[in-house]
Amino acid sequence: MYSCLFCQIVAKEIPSYPIAETERAIAFMDIFPAAPGHALVIPRRHSADALEAASEDLTACMTLAASVGRAAIAGLGADGVTFQSLARPAAGQTVFHSHIHVIPRHDGDQFAVPWPSMPGDVTEIEAQAERLRNAFSNAEF
């Protein structure tokens, strides 16, 4: 018995609406869809989020997510796809087994990106870049 909801789906202990699977990852439908055809891609091996997942699981998930996206365009008539992955509560994550949302998009649909498209302050942008470069120079991520 697993306490993690998505581990239970991997183990087929609870039902899902499966779409596709590979050695490392599975794809199934989100049952609270943001749009028709909204799917989730998860690694079979548990990790809390993309920050914690092994690189081979990240690779497998993004590869399968792209396949599901192409299937949404070919099979559902989508015009595009939003790929989304939230990490930690501050980002809005609610299920703590890493996953990628694959949301079919249609020209003119009402699905909105969660930030206004406004130019940033270039001094602040460069300051943030400098802090990130410093983080990279001080450790491996």
Please select the residue that binds ligand 5GP; options are 20, 73, 95, 109, rule is CB under 6 A: 95
Among 2, 7, 16, 67, binds ligand 5GP (CB under 6 A): 16
Name the one range near ligand 5GP by CB under 6 A: 25-33, 72-80, 110-118, 131-139: 25-33
**Which residue in 46, 99, 101, 106 is the catalytic one?**
99
Diameter of the chain measured on Cα atoms: 52
Q: Which of residues 40-59 bind Zn ion (CB under 5 A)?
A: 46
Query: Which SS3 state, helix, strand or coil, does residue 14 take?
Result: coil
One DSSP character per residue, 99-112 reads: -EEEEEE-TT-S--
Per CB under 6 A, which region of 50-58, 64-72, 86-94, 123-131 contacts ligand 5GP? 86-94
Residues 27/33/34/35 CA torsion (nearest 10 deg): 80
Point out which residues pair with 21 in neighbouring strands. 26
Q: Which of 4, 62, 87, 95 binds Zn ion (CB under 5 A)?
A: 4
For residue 106, indicate whether it is catalytic. Answer: no
- Is position 28 an interface residue for ligand 5GP (rule: CB under 6 A)? yes
Residue among 5, 54, 76, 129 that touches ligand 5GP (CB under 6 A): 5
Distance, CA of 105 to CA of 23 (rounded, Å):
28
Q: Token pair for residue 41? A: 């891609």
Instruction: List Cα–Cα distances, 39 to 65, 84, 90, 92, 123, in angstroms.
Output: 9, 11, 22, 17, 39
Q: Which residues contact Zn ion (rule: CB under 5 A)?
A: 4, 6-7, 46, 97
Residues labelled as active-site residues: 99
Which parts of this chain interact with ligand 5GP (CB under 6 A)? Answer: 5, 16, 28-32, 86, 92-95
